[in-house]
Structure 1
Amino acid sequence: MTDAFHKLPLTFDIQRLKQDLWMQQQQLWIEHINRHVHDGGWASLPLRSVDGRIDNANVVETNPAYYKNTPYLEQSSYLKEVLASFQCTIVSARLMSLQARQEIRRHTDLDLRFEDGCARLHIPIQTHPAVEFNINDQSIHFGEGECWYMNANYPHQVFNGSDINRVHLVIDCVVNDWLRALFSNSGYQTKISDHKYGCANVDDNNVSQVIAQLECLGSETALALAHHYKTIKG
Structure 2
Amino acid sequence: MHSYNEESSKNYLSAISRLKLLEEGTSKIISDEIEAANLDWRNFSYSEYVSQGVYSLSLLSSDGDGSNTLIKDCKPKPTEVLNKLPKTAEILNNLGLDFMWARLNLLGPNACLWEHRDYSELDNREKLRLHIPVKTNDNAYLILEGKKVHLHKDGLWKLNPADFVHGAVNEGEDRIHIVLDCYVNDNLRNLIKDEYLDESWLADLKKPTTADFNDKLINALRLYQGDRKRDAEELLLRTYYHFNHQEGGSLDLVREMYHLLGKKEEVNLWESRKTRFLKQETYENLTAAAV
Question: Which residue is equivalent to 1:15?
Answer: 28
Alignment of 1:82-93 (within 5 A): 82-93=91-102
Question: Which residue is equivalent to 2:67?
Answer: 55
Q: Output the TM-score relative to the length of structure 2.
A: 0.60
1:6 paired to 2:17 = yes
State the shift of 1:217 in Å: 6.3
Alpha-carbon distance in structure 1 between the residues aligned to 2:139 and 2:194? 31
1:177-219 deviation line (CA, Å, top 9, x unaligned): 121111013369xxxxxxxxxxx99xxx959x966x4373699
Aligned to 1:14, what secondary structure does the other structure show?
helix
Alpha-carbon distance in structure 1 between the residues aligned to 2:105 and 2:91? 16
Conserved in 2, the CA contact under 8 Å of 1:137 and 1:156? no
Question: Which residue is equivalent to 1:166?
Answer: 175
Question: Which AA in structure 1 matches 2:63?
Answer: D
Conserved in 2, the CA contact under 8 Å of 1:97 and 1:165? yes
Conserved in 2, the CA contact under 8 Å of 1:30 and 1:57? no
Question: Which residue is equivalent to 2:51?
Answer: 39
Q: 1:142 to 1:102 in 2, by over 3 A?
A: same
| Unpaired segments ≥5 residues, structure 1 | 189-199, 220-234
State the shift of 1:62 in Å: 0.9
Aligned to 2:48, what secondary structure does the other structure show?
coil
1:107-149 deviation line (CA, Å, top 9, x unaligned): 221259xx96111100001000111221232221100121100
Question: Which residue is equivalent to 1:156?
Answer: 166
Q: 1:90 to 1:70 in 2, by over 3 A?
A: same
Alpha-carbon distance in structure 2 between the residues aligned to 1:16 and 1:76? 10
1:68 paired to 2:81 = no
Conserved in 1, the CA contact under 8 Å of 2:62 and 2:74? no
Q: CA RMSD in A?
A: 3.0
Alpha-carbon distance in structure 2 between the residues aligned to 1:132 and 1:215? 27
Q: 1:159 to 1:176 in 2, by over 3 A?
A: same
Alpha-carbon distance in structure 2 between the residues aligned to 1:218 and 1:34? 7
Equivalent pairs, count: 197
Conserved in 1, the CA contact under 8 Å of 2:125 and 2:183? no
Question: Which residue is equivalent to 1:196?
Answer: none
Conserved in 2, the CA contact under 8 Å of 1:125 and 1:168? yes
Conserved in 1, the CA contact under 8 Å of 2:19 and 2:194? no
| Unpaired segments ≥5 residues, structure 2 | 1-9, 198-246, 249-273
Alpha-carbon distance in structure 1 between the residues aligned to 2:51 and 2:286? 27
Question: Which AA in structure 1 matches 2:16?
Answer: F
Q: 1:110 to 1:35 in 2, by over 3 A?
A: same
Conserved in 1, the CA contact under 8 Å of 2:41 and 2:56? yes
Question: Which AA in structure 2 matches 1:166?
Answer: R
Q: Output the TM-score relative to the length of structure 1.
A: 0.74
Alpha-carbon distance in structure 1 between the residues aligned to 2:60 and 2:84? 12
Q: Whose helix proportion is higher, 1 or 2?
A: 2
Stretches (4+) displaced over 4 A? none
Alpha-carbon distance in structure 1 between the residues aligned to 2:283 and 2:79? 28
Alpha-carbon distance in structure 2 between the residues aligned to 1:169 and 1:104? 15
1:216 paired to 2:272 = no
Alpha-carbon distance in structure 2 between the residues aligned to 1:116 and 1:137? 28
State the shift of 1:92 in Å: 1.0
